[in-house]
Amino acid sequence: MFRNTYDSDNTVFSPQGRLHQVEYALEAVKQGSAAVGLRSKTHSVLLALKRSTGELASYQQKMFRIDDHVGIAIAGLTSDARVLSNFMRQQAMSSKMVFNRPIPVNRLVSSIADKAQVNTQEYGRRPYGVGFLVIGQDNSGPHLYEFSPSGNSYEYYAMSIGARSQSAKTYLEKHYESFADSSLEDLVRHGLHALRETLQQDKELNVNNTSIGIVGPASVHEKAVPPAGPFRIVENEAVEPFLQTMIAKDTATGAGAVPPAAAAATGDEDVQMAG
Amino acid sequence: MDHFPTNWGRPRNDAYDAYGTYPIAQRPQNNPKDAFSAGVQHTQQPIVTGTSVLAIKYKDGIMMAADNLASYGSLARFKDIQRLHAVGNNTMIGAGGDMSDFQYIQNMLDELMIDEFTAQDGLALGPAEIHEYLSQVLYARRTKMNPLWNSILVGGFKDGQRFLAYVDLLGTTYSASTLATGYGSYIAQPLLRKAVEGREDVITEAEALEIIETSMRVLYYRDARSLNKFQVATITAEGAKISESKSLDTTWSFAEGIRGYGAQTQ
Amino acid sequence: MTSIGTGYDLSASTYSPDGRIFQVEYANKAVENSGTAIGLKVKDGVVLAVEKLVHSKLLVPEANRRIQTIDRHIGLATAGLLADGRHLSNRARDEASNYRETYNSAPPLKAVADRLGLYVQAYTLYSSVRPFGISTILGAVDKDGPSLFVVEPSGVFFGYNGAAVGKGRQLAKTELEKLNLAELSTREAVTEAARIIYLVHEDAKEKEFELEMSWIGTESGGVHVHVPKDLLQEAEAAAKAALENFE
């Protein structure tokens, strides 16, 4: 690794006006497995790649429900994500209690962004090491936001974060104009295709390593979803019908029946907090 | 344990030394319970008060009325107090009870609306949210034994929906198509119910005004803390509006014949 | 920048031997790296405009605002680190709200700028914090009429008739100086502001950007709001046309 005088402290600007500690925190997000988010006029969806540290280990949780109308997918330090998602839940509950109103999604995202900003300016802290994709619906329809450790938050039509997310981004940039009028099934399929771009050579999406988060009315593949279309996480066998809709890559990698991705994923684990 | 032997063996209510027979320092229940109890005092009664507020649902929205009087005890102290207050474009509140507490509530809500405005995301608090917020504030204050001494009507019109609900110093809430606070809840509420219930969707604005004015007149006759000068607010799709102060024709000639009221001596 | 690496530039609480505070100067660098923001104080109002650099085409247009509202009648535009801008605008809201609570009247802009200057200055005193990496333009129409201030990372603030911060500020200032601001109407100022932002963006032509504008004046009912869409488009079209004539 390189080392320079201005990178060991988050309270120090480099002569170029950069904050190296914040930039390193953004790298921590890229260590986590990828998550993809997309939005249409009626739905927002999240798709995430779960990792497991070995055959005896379960898969790391990548999605969290915040409230009936909001959910997140994470990439980076899971423990930081748990702290922030807990805070988001408190904000959501407080809005329900005080105003009897589901918290507007943009304000929820801003609230954690403002928290993250403080960690980039004060001594004795470190920036959060996790990025979120946040989906939710409110009066103005479905939304997709990205939150990052720099304290920034942006609203997107589609976005990806985490390891090799650039490949997914390239896919999304190619197709995003069609998302607005997509059906939920098409939206998820695009999401799976984008997520597939982040996989390593010999890996494939399967029911174990894929999580799907949805807000909006139910899909034909879902059962017992209330009409309001609250946030839900689709996992395990329930993912299968969605995986079936994928169109095989026409490349020569032979994306047919490749063995499950559970096999040792060395050097590819989520970054863990010490201790 | 009561360490004053003179209090031992007495019935409890007798422990109160009604005639001051003991030296001050020894008088039962005359000792401060803690050193600061005299320094920390909570609201135990309203001081400058407003009387009833009336509100009904009608075809186009909500109509609300309150007079302009703030009383100091039985003294008609201030005769130009506005007891209706618009909160944003879709909501109106009207309050009886302590007027300084009401002014505090107005400031608090104005501040809240500025916070909402500065978010610049096109989302605004509607009547239902304001009512929920008020009920939480009033309930929280009463659990601290320091209530905001008001009973408040919240009326509104948003997204094609009428809203009308009540909240008071205890945090009690309810909702109906006609509501009245204070003296009006005894005198005007039956009249309002009779005129409005079941007809909420047919009553025109002119008709609603007539219903409100009839009730305000009755209240002025019957309520000694009322004033024949009041304002009427409407909250409709066009927004929240408060009228200029107005008064009604009343007849008091019958009072001549009432013993102890008119000029007769016998 | 001869003192780089001498150790005198690692903390806001350290002077260099020649009496400079390098951390504050570096914070100014962060401002210079960002898109330009300008403010115009004219006859009957204030206009704020920002050159918002678009880092991805997946961004939802108009959703990610760089201009904030502080009070009904106060707007704030920043150049520099976006997250710092949000921190400072939250603080400005608190100050405005505190002023209202104390004096029960709308805060004059000078009072808010003054308090904000104090706040920013406090972040230049200690090694335990870094200065704000933003310059802030505050605009308002208050009881004394239109008013415009800039708060810099050092905590100093000045009143202006026309202000520019960020990468293209030199060119923008030259353009602002050509205008007769005191005679301009707010509506005319919107057109001029759009033209200036388009002009300064010429230097970074290859990057996508979005023009964001807000105003406070009689036409906006004395409150700070974003410029209506049709007027914004009109101003953008005029700016593009002016740019072609300029060349």
**CA pair distance A11, A19, nearest whole angstrom:** 8
Residue C101 sits at the chain B interface (C-beta within 8 Å): yes
Residue B6 has what pLDDT?
57
**φ and ψ at residue C14, rounded to 5 degrees:** -120, 130
Nearest to A212 by CA among A259, A245, A181: A245
SS3 percent helix, strand, coil of chain B, rounded to 5, is 30, 25, 40
At residue C106, the 3 state secondary structure works out as coil
Its domain, for residue C217, covers: 22-245
Q: Which residues of B are marked as active site? A: 43
- pLDDT for residue B254 is more than 90: no
The pLDDT-based confidence of A6 (bands split at 50, 70, 90) is: confident
The domain defined by A20-245 folds into: Glutamine Phosphoribosylpyrophosphate, subunit 1, domain 1 (3.60.20)
Residue A275 has what pLDDT?
37
Question: Mean per-residue pLDDT for B39-46?
Answer: 79
H/E stretch holding A142: strand A141-147
Cβ pair B132:A106 closer than 8 A = no
- pLDDT for residue B132 is more than 80: yes
The pLDDT-based confidence of A54 (bands split at 50, 70, 90) is: confident
Residue with structure tokens 């740019």? Answer: C243
Contact A35, A146 (CB under 8 A): no
Residue A267 has what pLDDT?
42
Residue B20 has what pLDDT?
58
Contact A209, A261 (CB under 8 A): yes
In a domain, C212, yes or no: yes
The pLDDT-based confidence of B44 (bands split at 50, 70, 90) is: confident
- pLDDT for residue A233 is more than 60: yes
Closest chain A residue to C60, measured at CA: A156
Mutate to test the interface with B, among A69, A95, A98 (most CBs of B within 10 A): A98
- pLDDT for residue B259 is more than 90: no
CA atoms within a 13 Å half-sphere pointing along the CA-CB vector of B214:
16
Greater model confidence, B54 or A202: B54
The pLDDT-based confidence of A162 (bands split at 50, 70, 90) is: very high
The overall average pLDDT reported for chain B is: 89
The pLDDT-based confidence of A98 (bands split at 50, 70, 90) is: very high
Residue with structure tokens 């999605």? Answer: A63
Residue B25 has what pLDDT?
56
The pLDDT-based confidence of C159 (bands split at 50, 70, 90) is: very high
In a domain, C16, yes or no: no
Residue A253 has what pLDDT?
45
- pLDDT for residue A269 is more than 50: no
pLDDT tens for each residue of B88-122:
999 999 999 999 999 999 999 999 999 999 999 98
Structure tokens at A154: 């942006």
Residue B161 sits at the chain C interface (C-beta within 8 Å): no
Question: Mean per-residue pLDDT for A86-107?
Answer: 95
Give the one of B121, B129, B132 whose C-beta lies nearest to A106's C-beta: B121
The overall average pLDDT reported for chain C is: 94
- pLDDT for residue A264 is more than 80: no
Closest chain C residue to A14, measured at CA: C26
Q: Who contacts A106 (Cβ-Cβ below 8 Å, separation ≥6)?
A: A143, A145, A155, B121
pLDDT tens for each residue of C137-158:
999 999 999 999 999 999 999 9
- pLDDT for residue A259 is more than 70: no
Give the one of A15, A19, A114 whose C-beta lies nearest to C9's C-beta: A15
What is the number of CB-based contacts under 8 A between chain B and chain C? 26
Closest chain A residue to B130, measured at CA: A99
Residue A124 has what pLDDT?
81
In a domain, B81, yes or no: yes
- pLDDT for residue A239 is more than 90: yes
Query: How many domains, in total, are found in chain C?
Result: 1
Q: Enumerate the domain spans of chain A.
A: 20-245
Residue B40 has what pLDDT?
72
* Among C6, C36, C69, C136, the one annotated catalytic: C36
In a domain, C141, yes or no: yes
Question: Mean per-residue pLDDT for B25-38?
Answer: 61
Residue A258 has what pLDDT?
41
Residue with structure tokens 């997204």? Answer: B159
Greater model confidence, B64 or A273: B64
Residue A35 CA, chain-centre distance (Å), reads: 4
Q: What DSSP letter does each residue of C201-215 carry, written as one string?
A: HGGGTTS-EEEEEEE
Structure tokens at B109: 């809500």
For the whole model, what pTM was predicted? 0.87
- pLDDT for residue B178 is more than 70: yes
- pLDDT for residue C184 is more than 60: yes
Question: Mean per-residue pLDDT for B151-156?
Answer: 98
Helix axes C82-103, C109-122, angle to 10 degrees: 130
**CA pair distance C8, A59, nearest whole angstrom:** 49
- pLDDT for residue A251 is more than 90: no
Range of lowest pLDDT (B37-46, C64-73, C177-186): B37-46
Greater model confidence, C62 or A69: A69
Helix axes B99-119, B127-143, angle to 10 degrees: 130
Residue C56 sits at the chain A interface (C-beta within 8 Å): yes
Question: Mean per-residue pLDDT for A243-263?
Answer: 60
Closest chain B residue to C63, measured at CA: B121
In chain A, which residues have their Cβ closer than 8 Å to the Cβ of B125? 99, 101
Nearest to A226 by CA among A69, A97, A47: A69
Question: Mean per-residue pLDDT for A144-160?
Answer: 97
In chain C, which residues have their Cβ closer than 8 Å to the Cβ of B123? none
In a domain, C181, yes or no: yes
Residue B125 sits at the chain A interface (C-beta within 8 Å): yes
Contact B143, A115 (CB under 8 A): no
∠ CA C166-C170-C174 to the nearest 5 degrees? 130
In a domain, C90, yes or no: yes
In a domain, B43, yes or no: no
Q: Who contacts B19 (Cβ-Cβ below 8 Å, separation ≥6)?
A: none
What is the number of CB-based contacts under 8 A between chain A and chain B? 23
- pLDDT for residue A25 is more than 50: yes
Residue B14 sits at the chain C interface (C-beta within 8 Å): no
Q: Which residue type, as a one-letter code, is found at position A147?
A: F
- The distance of A66 to chain B (nearest Cα, Å) reads 20
pLDDT tens for each residue of C21-41:
999 999 999 999 899 999 999
Q: Which chains touch C (3 or more CB pairs under 8 A)?
A: A, B
Q: Is C218 a residue of the active site?
A: no
In a domain, B256, yes or no: no
- pLDDT for residue B225 is more than 50: yes
Question: Mean per-residue pLDDT for B150-176?
Answer: 97
Question: Mean per-residue pLDDT for B150-174?
Answer: 97
Residue B8 has what pLDDT?
57
In a domain, C10, yes or no: no
The pLDDT-based confidence of B240 (bands split at 50, 70, 90) is: very high
**What are the residues facing B54 on neighbouring strands?**
B65, B180
Cβ pair C1:A15 closer than 8 A = yes
- pLDDT for residue A213 is more than 70: yes
Segment B4-13 long-range contacts (CB within 8 Å, at least 24 positions apart): B4/B28
Cβ pair C97:B115 closer than 8 A = yes
In a domain, B179, yes or no: yes
Query: How many domains, in total, are found in chain B?
Result: 1
In a domain, B35, yes or no: no
- pLDDT for residue B27 is more than 70: no
Kindly report the CATH number assigned to the domain that includes residue C200.
Answer: 3.60.20.10
In a domain, C17, yes or no: no
- The distance of B141 to chain A (nearest Cα, Å) reads 14
- pLDDT for residue C8 is more than 90: no
Structure tokens at B205: 């604005």
